[in-house]
Amino acid sequence: MTQAQNAKSIDLIFAALADPTRRAILEMLLEDDMAVTDVAEPFEMSLAAISKHLTILMRAGLIAQEKRGRVKWCKLQPDAMRASSIWMQGFGQFEALDLEGFERFLERELDETQDMA
Amino acid sequence: MTQAQNAKSIDLIFAALADPTRRAILEMLLEDDMAVTDVAEPFEMSLAAISKHLTILMRAGLIAQEKRGRVKWCKLQPDAMRASSIWMQGFGQFEALDLEGFERFLERELDETQDMA
DNA sequence: CCTATATTCAACCAAATGGTTGACCAAACG
DNA sequence: CGTTTGGTCAACCATTTGGTTGAATATAGG
């Protein structure tokens, strides 16, 4: 990948992550692959809106979509976050992942985002 | 901090990081604290535009600004990235910081961003 | 074949974003 | 004092973003 493509993709990743609905979707996909309709279910917005969010996540490379029959399955692509995550780590030298703490944090943010939706 | 404030601040962080000019500014501030005018110097845009970018970085908590005389100094606040960084790490389970690789990466992105500016 | 389901598309809208310019204010300088 | 310097503010503009609705497409089921 060229340098420009690299920075461009980091733009897309961070922009994608800046929206709480999209972060919530990614968190849902941590659990399991999901169909578009099921992704949309917990949110109080139209299916078309969720479809747009998924397009943004896909263009950022954060998810992949595969159509089987009439159902389009969404699958998390966590490696896409790698470059951006490393970029951030360069600032804070944060300690390596505390998985338990992360799960607690995730739970709280997930609750909160669903409240908002 | 409440849950809503937490997610809100993550929004602000990721949105702030989605702009290549702002990321370049943060990278510059890794080296040293800087006055607003000096931050603006390498970019081909108005001082007012940079001032706006700095406001966004400040509201995200990523920098602090302190006025001494007529000069406003900008200081990196890397801890602000902590929550967002941990959020991301939860997806990839990246290995702990690889500083050398990061520096190579940073150099490439910095070059590229200055080209664009 | 007809209908229901899954998903996207297209047109539209309000609000946010990222930039400009020119006026403005405050501090430092001669 | 008057002028330069550092920085923000205000108004404006084009583009993007995040949502809506209604029509369109494609597959599945009876």
Per-residue CA distances from A113 to A24, A51, B8 (Å): 7, 18, 10
Q: Taking CB atoms and an 8 Å cutoff, what residues of chain A touch B82?
A: 92, 94
Do the Cβ atoms of B94 and A76 come within 8 Å? no
A48: nearest nucleotide, CA–C1' criterion: C8
pLDDT in tens, A18-74: 999 999 999 999 889 999 999 999 999 999 999 999 999 999 999 999 999 999 999
Query: Collapsing DSSP states into helix, strand and coil, what is residue A77?
Result: coil
Round to whole Å and give the CA distance between B4 and B100. 36
pLDDT in tens, A74-116: 999 988 998 899 899 888 755 544 545 545 554 554 455 444 4
pLDDT in tens, B42-68: 999 999 999 999 999 999 999 999 999
Q: Taking CB atoms and an 8 Å cutoff, what residues of chain B touch A21?
A: none
Q: Give me the pLDDT at residue A36, please.
A: 98
Of A6, A30, A81, the CB nearest to B88: A81
Q: Which two tokens stand for residue A82?
A: 């790698």
pTM of the model: 0.83
Instruction: Estimate in Å the CA B114 to C1' C11 gap, whole number.
Output: 39
For strand C, is any atom closer than 7 Å to the CB of B51?
Answer: no
Q: Which two tokens stand for residue A61?
A: 């490379």
For chain A, the first-to-last Cα distance in angstroms comes to 37
Residues in chain B: 117
Task: Establish how many alpha carbons lie within 13 A of residue B16's alpha carbon, considering only the half-sphere containing its beta carbon.
Answer: 25
How many Cβ pairs closer than 8 A exist between chain A and B? 144
Q: Give me the pLDDT at residue B83, please.
A: 85
For B80, the closest chain A residue by CA position comes to A92
